[in-house]
Amino acid sequence: MSCLLQKTLHIKMKIILLLFIFLPVLLSAQDLNYTNPILPGSYPDPSICRVGNDFYIVNSSFEYYPGLPIHHSNDLVNWELVGYGLHREEQCTGKMNLVDVQSRGGIHAPTIRYHEGTFYIITTNVYSPIDKTQPTKFINFIITAQNVKGPWSDPHIIEGAPGIDPDIFFDDNGRVYYIGTQDVTQPNDNGIGEIWVQQLDIKEWELIGERKAIWQGACGGCCVEGPHMYKKNETYYLMIAEGGTSLNHAVMIAASDKISGPFESDPRNPILTSRHLSQKNWVNSTGHADLVELSDGRWYMVALGIRNDEEGTSNMGRETHLLPVVWEPATVRWKEVNKDNWQPVEYLYPVVAPETGKVERYTKLPFAGKAQKQNDALVDNFDSTELDLEWNFRRVPMANTYSLTAKKGYLRLYLKPDTIIERGRCSIMGLRQKESDFEYSASMNFLPQKNNAEAGLSIFQQDDSYINFTIIKEDGVNTLKIVVAEQNKEPLLLKKEAIINFKGDIVFKVKSMVNKYTYLYSVDQGRTFTSFAETRADLIISKGYTGAYLGIYATGNSLKIEEYADFDWILYKAYQR
């Protein structure tokens, strides 16, 4: 045996030995830690509550329907989507208009709480009238349910409640309080808002008693919002979001002996932020948080954050992250007892992520032995008579938009004249994009008969931000095309190409890898694929409140065409970076 061969075998044996040594350690580390975000995809403004050993999170849904997605977990790291607070059309009409609501409007910053056998969600519907001379309406309301999966009640609108992001607090003396936001009652340096509290009658669903302004935030920043009230050891704690929803986002907290204040700001505020970190940090804009106490007395926080996958942001928008919390004393001021004696006034305050003070990608599991499972794939064969909970629509869908029974084992999407326009409704539906790198494909049967009949895939984020990869009949020819709409730009035809001898069956596929989208198609049931086009991955990057959805789309392009597209299956596979 040559010296070179002996040396090569020796190196290989060392590598194998090292793998035997370190692989169990790596696997063990994975079993000991969880990965943030715990709710990947467009799940902003998280609110959490515990019932026994079960945890529930609700998130903002804005103009999407069904609204107010609710997840369940018994270990804080594995979450299942179990329902929606707004799941019936009649909940979303009239004053609660989610039919023609503007982009980035709709349902903002909910709070979920459980009290004496009933779940409560309190939140705001932000609606700007089509008549732009009319002011934006902020409709604050509460829905209730005995079962978190529903059915949820019709909205109870709380009249005379200004502001956004309300909180509901059940005190141990039997009183219930509404905590809201409003413009400042006295001029101050930040000038952007303050928190108020007022007793709430949950039998008549109305505010009663005196309203009192209780805090204007901690650091003189803007956008005092997102309040949550807690009580621990007879002390009231008021936690808020401050600094806006971008890079200066932060969580502040204050304490008081009375719910009406005065509230003493934690001298270590903000208790959570990423404003002091490099913009190259893996996550930014962390804030808008809620706290939960575990049955063993430990505490955790859920907060939103934006991953830095695409130069400071990501296609997923704002997502839900989990952080451990401990409580430590802090001196808020010194009180004069007499001429020669001053005593410190102390409160316990939460310390978030005590080891590092920030949202980490990997953190020790809350419950040993309950590892986080990968939830990175979804296959829908449309074999059920009910739509999978993962599917969402932009606004309340029109009647007869789709059917799961017209053709067994298929989702039938009907072509309507409507296209993707601001405040509009059309035949479009999608699933949240949960990672920057993914594969998304759909098998469609669609042989258009009339000109302008069109159907296929759509990756969408808002009415002015989408990518459509479709088949359309133009001048009697079946044509494959890609149209891209970027914010503040006119939709652009990226590419189109006639498909000769097209028989009606096509599999679309979009692959995202290393900041690039590749668009492929197959006309032999997925056995072979043809590459059609490539684009940057940041064409419809999240620049607003919501992240991207991966969906399907059908339209008659302003014509009444009685046709439809049948989708046999969709497949989504995500890849963590």
Among 295, 326, 360, identify where a domain stops. 295
576: tokens are: 């963590």
Task: Classify residue 10: in a domain, yes or no.
Answer: no
Catalytic annotation present for 225? yes
Q: How many whole angstroms separate alpha carbon 411 and alpha carbon 429?
A: 11
Q: How many whole angstroms separate alpha carbon 228 and alpha carbon 226?
A: 7
Task: Classify residue 132: in a domain, yes or no.
Answer: yes
Q: Environment class of residue 58 by beta-carbon count within 10 Å: exposed (0-12), middle (13-18) or buried (19+)?
A: buried
**Ramachandran bin of 471, using left for φ above 0, alpha for ψ from -120 to 50, beta for the remaining angles:** beta
Q: Which of 45, 167, 439, 538 is catalytic?
A: 45
Q: Quick one: DSSP state of residue 499?
A: -
**CATH label of the domain that carries residue 395:** 2.60.120.200
Please check whether residues 252 and 113 belong to one and the same domain. Answer: yes
Number of domains in the chain: 2
Please check whether residues 386 and 291 belong to one and the same domain. Answer: no
Our measurement of the distance from residue 15's CA atom to the centroid of its chain's CA atoms, rounded to an integer in Å, reads: 43
* 477-505 per-residue burial string, b: 16 or more CB within 10 A, e: under 16: ebbbbbbbbbeeeeeeebebeeeeebeeb
Please check whether residues 82 and 173 belong to one and the same domain. Answer: yes
Please check whether residues 97 and 224 belong to one and the same domain. Answer: yes
Name the one residue in this structure whose structure tokens are 């919390």: 325
Q: Environment class of residue 156 by beta-carbon count within 10 Å: exposed (0-12), middle (13-18) or buried (19+)?
A: middle
Task: Classify residue 209: in a domain, yes or no.
Answer: yes
Q: How many whole angstroms separate alpha carbon 140 and alpha carbon 229?
A: 17
Instruction: Sheet with 206-215: list strands edge to edge.
Output: 167-170, 176-182, 194-201, 206-215
Catalytic annotation present for 31? no
**Ramachandran bin of 312, using left for φ above 0, alpha for ψ from -120 to 50, beta for the remaining angles:** left
Name the one residue in this structure whose structure tokens are 């075998």: 9
The phi and psi torsions of 8 (rounded to 5 degrees) equal -65, -45
For every one of its 577 residues, what pLDDT tens digit does the chain have, with 9 covering 90 and above? Answer: 454 444 444 544 444 444 444 444 444 455 799 999 999 999 999 999 999 999 999 999 999 999 999 999 999 999 999 999 999 999 999 999 999 999 999 999 999 999 999 999 999 999 999 998 999 999 999 999 999 999 999 999 999 999 999 999 999 999 999 999 998 766 554 456 899 999 999 999 999 999 999 999 987 668 899 999 999 999 999 999 999 989 999 999 999 999 999 999 999 999 999 999 998 999 999 999 999 999 999 999 999 999 999 888 999 999 999 999 999 999 888 877 777 788 888 999 999 999 999 999 999 999 999 999 988 899 999 999 999 999 999 999 999 999 999 999 999 999 999 999 999 999 999 999 999 999 999 999 999 999 999 999 999 999 999 999 999 999 999 999 999 999 889 999 999 999 988 999 999 999 999 889 999 999 999 999 999 999 999 988 877 678 999 999 999 999 999 999 999 999 999 999 8
480 and 522 in contact (C-beta within 8 Å)? no
N residues, the chain: 577
Task: Classify residue 33: in a domain, yes or no.
Answer: no
Closest CA to 70 of 141, 105, 119: 119
Closest CA to 432 of 535, 310, 513, 318: 318
Closest CA to 362 of 70, 548, 576: 576
Q: For residue 241, list its beta bridge partners.
A: 225, 251
357 and 349 in contact (C-beta within 8 Å)? no
Among 265, 295, 325, identify where a domain stops. 295
Per DSSP, which regions of 377-476 are E strands? 377-380, 392-394, 402-403, 411-414, 427-432, 437-445, 454-462, 465-474
Instruction: Sort strands 250-256 and 272-273 into parallel, antiparallel or unpaired.
Output: antiparallel
Other CB atoms within 10 A of residue 337 CB: 9
Please check whether residues 131 and 268 belong to one and the same domain. Answer: yes
Our measurement of the distance from residue 553's CA atom to the centroid of its chain's CA atoms, rounded to an integer in Å, reads: 22
Other CB atoms within 10 A of residue 54 CB: 12
Task: Classify residue 539: in a domain, yes or no.
Answer: yes
270: tokens are: 């903000």
The per-residue pLDDT for 305 is 97
The phi and psi torsions of 3 (rounded to 5 degrees) equal -60, -35
Please check whether residues 404 and 548 belong to one and the same domain. Answer: yes
Please check whether residues 265 and 389 belong to one and the same domain. Answer: no
Task: Classify residue 212: in a domain, yes or no.
Answer: yes
Please check whether residues 271 and 384 belong to one and the same domain. Answer: no
Name the one residue in this structure whose structure tokens are 């993962």: 390
Q: Which of 165, 167, 225, 566 is catalytic?
A: 225
Please check whether residues 246 and 388 belong to one and the same domain. Answer: no
Q: How many whole angstroms separate alpha carbon 571 and alpha carbon 573?
A: 7
The per-residue pLDDT for 534 is 97
* 20-39 per-residue burial string, b: 16 or more CB within 10 A, e: under 16: eeeeeeeeeeeeebbbbbbb
550: tokens are: 């991966």
Task: Classify residue 384: in a domain, yes or no.
Answer: yes
Task: Classify residue 32: in a domain, yes or no.
Answer: no
Q: How many whole angstroms separate alpha carbon 174 and alpha carbon 171?
A: 6
Torsion of CA 227, 232, 234, 236, to 10 degrees: -10
Q: How many helices (H) and strands (E) does the chain have?
A: 1, 39
Q: How many whole angstroms separate alpha carbon 390 and alpha carbon 21?
A: 41
Look up the domain containing 80 and give its range: 47-278+287-295
Query: What would the 3-class secondary structure string for 230-283 be?
Result: EEECCEEEEEEEECCCCCCCEEEEEEECCCCCCCEECCCCCCEECCCCCCCCCE
Please check whether residues 264 and 382 belong to one and the same domain. Answer: no
Please check whether residues 207 and 73 belong to one and the same domain. Answer: yes
Please check whether residues 411 and 272 belong to one and the same domain. Answer: no
Q: For residue 466, list its beta bridge partners.
A: 460, 485
Closest CA to 65 of 37, 40, 85, 95: 85
The per-residue pLDDT for 20 is 47
pTM score: 0.93
DSSP of 280-324 = TSSEEEEEEEEEEE-TTS-EEEEEEEEE-SBTTB-TT-EEEEEEE
**CATH label of the domain that carries residue 217:** 2.115.10.20
The per-residue pLDDT for 134 is 94
